Amino acid sequence: MTNRRESYGAGVIPPKSQGRPGNLGPEYSLCTNMSVCEQESAGAPERLEFEDAEFVSLCEKLRASNNVRECAWKTWEKVSSMDGILEGCIKNKKELLGICILISAVDLDEVTFTFTELQKNINISVNTFFQLVKEVDVNMDTISIKVDNTILRLKKKYDVLCALYDKFQRIFDQIFMAESSAETSVDINRTLIMKVSWITFLLAKGKVLQMEDDLVISFQLLLCVFEYFIKLSPSAVLKEPYKTAVSSISLNGPARTHRRGQSRNTRASKQMETNTRVIEALCKESDCCVDEVKDIYVKSFVPFLDSIGISASNGLPEVENLSKQYDELYLKNRDLDARLFLSQDETLQQRDCSFELERTPQKTDDEEVNVIPPETPVRAAMNTIQQLMVILNSASDSPSDILISYFNNCTVNPTENILQRIEHLSYIFRTRFAEAFGQACAEIGVQRYKLGVRLYYRVMESMLKSEEKRLSVHNFSKLLNNSAFHTSLLACAVEVVMATYGRSAFESSGTSTETDLAFPWILYVFDLKAFDFYKVIESFIKAESSLSKAMIKHLERCEHQIMECLAWKPDSPFFDLVKQSKDREGQIEQPEPTSTLYLPLQHNHTAADLYLSPVRSPRKKGCAGTVRVNSTQIADGQTSAATQPRHPQKAQKSTSLSLFYKKVYRLAYLRLKALCSQLLSEHPDLEYVIWTLFQHTLQNEYELMKDRHLDQIMMCSMYGICKVKNIDLKFKTIVHAYKDLPNTNQETFKHVLIREGKHDSIIVFYNLVFMQKLKTNILQYASTRPPPLSPIPHIPQSPYKFASSPLRVPGGNNIYISPLKNPYKCSEGPLSPTKMTPRSRILVSIGESFGTSEKFQKINQMVSSGDRLLKRGSEVSNHPKPLKRLRFDIEGQDEADGSKHMLGESKFQQKLAEIPSTRTRMQKQKLADGMDTSSKEEQ
């Protein structure tokens, strides 16, 4: 009894009784353990008796088995007892009963109905369903990871379908006439073409793509479908330029001829070479790569047409035949019937699929506004790809002359190894890509890998130029012969390409559509350790200045994933480095001393610093400085006498490990702070106590992190401290708040490693592992003499500066200038004022209240007059005037270099007048200020 009380006092959660369903592990839903279900149903009659007639009727309609019925009813009993679930989350009980049946059917692998069928029977829309499932999953043992993954895949597929149908409608309206013409055949009309083309696309998407939630390839396949039906349609129903394109094809010969001795693929390839006007027009309108669409057409779409028996010579396919084949696919997948988009069925009630980033202002009588279409997910994806293509179109598939000169200057020339590595990884990447998407898409994988190789060479050259400037050396033999460096750099380049094509197009809605090829997939393909990959990320971002803001954020998120869980895998090099640090002869060394938390995090480490593991000599009393390696050490690996440590018998400290720990501490504290702000706002002092336990665990009990997640230690630290401080905070509450943090996953708290091969919920992990390991330390915080608190990490500004951030006008005035926005179409170059909306031309943020509307009217007049002056000036002379730099005196007053203002013009008006002319200069000034800040931190 004494031990039990002591355990409870340390914060252990009292075990549940054996009769309660909570004893099942998190990998099981309620009653999803097959042995439990079999035991309870042993000897049961064929037809189970339930008192609830509505439940029985629903099970009959969905053809639910006895096992599913029994488990679904017990799930219903558990869920219906939750506070607030029945009161405000659903309109009627049938919706919740249907969700309980789905949960049990998925867990038991006995799904006998489609998702749309479930929706129809309980009269629920997609939106309501996802929201209700989120509310039901308030307990960790209500919905299993298996069900979580099923629902996540369903949500991804719905999001992609929703975006594609939205795009389908827009393109269809651009191609086909709104009303039937007198020349149009009665049998071929707009409505029929729309129905046939959409069902054909759904069928092609399901049969061609193994990964149906890939937005870009799905959209390229949609363009193939449009090309096919444009050529089948009479010219009378087509708009320009498609009408002319089809007419020119008919004049040159039949669109598709059948010749003996030629396969359909061969004929299609030759026809695509000569009749490209339609596909080119479609790709131009959508900013899509023509070559990629042609490749999909020939290698994927044409074989698909053969497989379903569609022939162009027979005209439009029959709707009944297509629907019958789609039925087979739909019933096999048991998910959404996407044909219902055509009838705007309420079960597929669309969320905000267009995700409009900026609405175009209405045109008035005295101004002319250029209409800019909304930023849809598909258009956002195409624009991002175009941005990358602008960077890589001029890049080479082989090393440049500058790179070759660097290779030749090496003591050991790395050229042969580099080329062999690229060729070897190319084969592996192509194979793995084809396994994920299907063999028909193998060549797409080859093209994306080639783009990655171009970016790899480009960034490597930029890195070496920077190192040459920093070290004044030309021989980088040791770095360029480091296999981990090259594999990591190539993996990072390919990841940028893959993320550009497959990045979440729904970021603005807060949802995620990452595919199975998302990071860390590339690490598995290249057999690369996450800890090695992390070393290149920051240097990669600094070396490639043309990366988009979205891609910089993606790489930063990859770095966070590594620090959260990937670097803590049992085979990670991290643990070897920590062991070496701990085993230093004659010295007890910590991976990263607590005292360094006060220090600013320096962002001046290069890839060479981390991969070659430059070291610093151990600190001595009275000497806080560090010894930098000599340039020759990085060049050829030979350390000069000047860089030898004073105590050669002591092992030297790894820079990569030290930097990693510093970054982990800062990430850990920021996430803890966010969670505390939600749960412990009334107890602000507890944040520092929890951080002390959290930091102590990461530093001294880092073995607990092996094969686990950073957030698992964070939540356990919070629960343990609250327990000994007598703060009523349940794990259920912690988990509920945790799900609202960015970048979280249900598996983090439902599937925690307990021991080898055994996983359970975070509650079980706390009781059996965390509390047992840290019980003595946790109980110290209940005593009158608790341990000293750990310092709060210095939180620096992100090293990844975004060029599109608002620029602050110096001089203490609260005025910010926003740079020009990204182009709507990268192929058309930067946006000119005539292409932009009035709102996006000049954005000014003023840190004061204007009080009256007259001042806003004056600003509008000034902006309008400024635009007219700019236009007149450009007509008179093509020579731009030199930029004027604002100068601010002590009182905050300003004047432009060599400029004079009109008499009576206010200071504020003068500043506004100068803003457009200083925009570019401020952009450069911000970058320079960032360099100065880094230099000061280093000093």
- SS (HEC) of 308-361: CCCCHHHCCCCHHHHHHHHHHHHHHHCCCCHHHHCCCCHHHCCCCCCCCCCCCC
Question: Average pLDDT, stretch 351-361?
Answer: 41
DSSP 248-297: HHHHHS-SS---TT--HHHHHHHHHHH--HHHHHHHHHHT--HHHHHHHI
pLDDT at 817: 55
Q: Does some domain include residue 911?
A: no
| pLDDT tens per residue across span 679-726 | 999 999 999 999 999 999 999 999 999 999 999 999 999 999 999 999
Question: Average pLDDT, stretch 867-877?
Answer: 45
pLDDT at 383: 87
Residue 590: what are its φ and ψ, rounded to 5°?
Answer: -95, 150
pLDDT at 601: 63
- 201 and 308 together in one domain: yes
Question: Average pLDDT, stretch 906-915?
Answer: 53
pLDDT at 938 over 60: no
Name the residue range of residue 666's domain.
655-781
Would you place residue 818 in the very low, low, confident or very high pLDDT band (cuts 50, 70, 90)? low
| pLDDT tens per residue across span 400-412 | 999 999 999 999 9
Q: Does some domain include residue 383?
A: yes
pLDDT at 116 over 60: yes
Tokens 């019937």 — which residue? 337
Question: Average pLDDT, stretch 762-788?
Answer: 92
- Picking from 759, 781, 803, the residue at the C-terminal end of a domain is 781
Q: Does some domain include residue 639?
A: no
Cβ–Cβ under 8 Å, residues 100 and 75 = yes
Would you place residue 27 in the very low, low, confident or very high pLDDT band (cuts 50, 70, 90)? very low
pLDDT at 787: 87
Interatomic CA distance for residues 164 and 376, integer angstroms: 10
Handedness of CA 839, 845, 850, 855 (dihedral sign): negative
pLDDT at 365: 44
- 456 and 499 together in one domain: yes
pLDDT at 509 over 70: no
pLDDT at 594 over 90: no
DSSP 380-405: HHHHHHHHHHHHHTTS-SS--HHHHH
Cβ–Cβ under 8 Å, residues 796 and 803 = no
User: pLDDT: is 159 or 836 the higher one?
Assistant: 159
- Cβ-based neighbours of 303, under 8 Å, separated by 6 or more: 264, 265, 440
Interatomic CA distance for residues 740 and 718, integer angstroms: 16
Of the listed ranges 142-156, 181-195, 469-483, 523-537, the one predicted with least confidence: 181-195
- 203 and 121 together in one domain: no
pLDDT at 682: 93
Would you place residue 533 in the very low, low, confident or very high pLDDT band (cuts 50, 70, 90)? very high
Handedness of CA 906, 909, 911, 913 (dihedral sign): negative
pLDDT at 895 over 60: no
Number of domains in the chain: 4
- 163 and 220 together in one domain: yes
Of the listed ranges 12-21, 250-259, 887-896, the one predicted with least confidence: 887-896
Of the listed ranges 369-383, 483-497, 794-808, the one predicted with least confidence: 794-808
DSSP SS3 for 123: coil
Would you place residue 316 in the very low, low, confident or very high pLDDT band (cuts 50, 70, 90)? confident
Question: Average pLDDT, stretch 656-669?
Answer: 91
**Cα→Cα distances 845→247, 323, 617, 918, Å:** 54, 55, 49, 16
| pLDDT tens per residue across span 722-742 | 999 999 999 989 998 998 899
N-terminal to C-terminal alpha carbon distance within the chain: 59
Name the pTM for this structure. 0.76
Handedness of CA 432, 437, 441, 444 (dihedral sign): negative
pLDDT at 629: 38
Q: Does some domain include residue 550?
A: yes
Q: Does some domain include residue 792?
A: no
Question: Average pLDDT, stretch 868-888?
Answer: 42
Would you place residue 925 in the very low, low, confident or very high pLDDT band (cuts 50, 70, 90)? low
* Of the candidates 363, 371, 362, 464, the residue with the CA atom closest to the CA atom of residue 409: 464
Q: Which long-range contacts (CB under 8 A, 24 or more apart) does 757-763 make?
A: 759/25, 759/26, 759/27, 760/25, 760/26, 760/27, 761/25, 761/26, 761/140, 761/141, 762/140, 762/712, 762/715, 762/716, 762/731, 762/735, 763/13, 763/140, 763/731
Q: Does some domain include residue 684?
A: yes
pLDDT at 620 over 50: no
- Cβ-based neighbours of 936, under 8 Å, separated by 6 or more: none
CB atoms within 10 A of CB 747: 15
pLDDT at 634: 42
Question: Average pLDDT, stretch 320-344?
Answer: 93
pLDDT at 375: 72
pLDDT at 222 over 90: yes
User: pLDDT: is 10 or 474 the higher one?
Assistant: 474
Q: Does some domain include residue 399?
A: yes
Q: Does some domain include residue 101?
A: yes
- 499 and 417 together in one domain: yes
- 129 and 201 together in one domain: no
pLDDT at 2 over 50: no
CATH code of 231's domain: 1.10.472.140
pLDDT at 875: 44
Q: What is the mean pLDDT of the chain?
A: 75
CATH code of 381's domain: 1.10.472.10
Would you place residue 416 in the very low, low, confident or very high pLDDT band (cuts 50, 70, 90)? very high
- Picking from 781, 815, 842, the residue at the C-terminal end of a domain is 781
- 321 and 392 together in one domain: no
Question: Average pLDDT, stretch 900-920?
Answer: 50
- 433 and 551 together in one domain: yes
pLDDT at 840: 44
Question: Average pLDDT, stretch 841-855?
Answer: 51
User: pLDDT: is 525 or 91 the higher one?
Assistant: 525
DSSP 693-739: HHHHHHHH-GGGGTTS-HHHHHHHHHHHHHHHTT----HHHHHHHHT
Cβ–Cβ under 8 Å, residues 416 and 450 = no
Record the tokens describing residue 596, joined without a space: 């360094």
- 525 and 389 together in one domain: yes
User: pLDDT: is 905 or 80 the higher one?
Assistant: 80
- 677 and 759 together in one domain: yes
DSSP SS3 for 895: strand
pLDDT at 868 over 60: no
pLDDT at 233 over 70: yes
- 81 and 139 together in one domain: yes
- 137 and 159 together in one domain: no
User: pLDDT: is 136 or 350 the higher one?
Assistant: 136
* Percent residues over pLDDT 90 in the chain: 42
Interatomic CA distance for residues 248 and 242, integer angstroms: 10
Q: What angle do CA 617, 621, 622 make, to 5 degrees?
A: 100
Question: Average pLDDT, stretch 268-276?
Answer: 56
- Picking from 564, 588, 615, the residue at the C-terminal end of a domain is 564
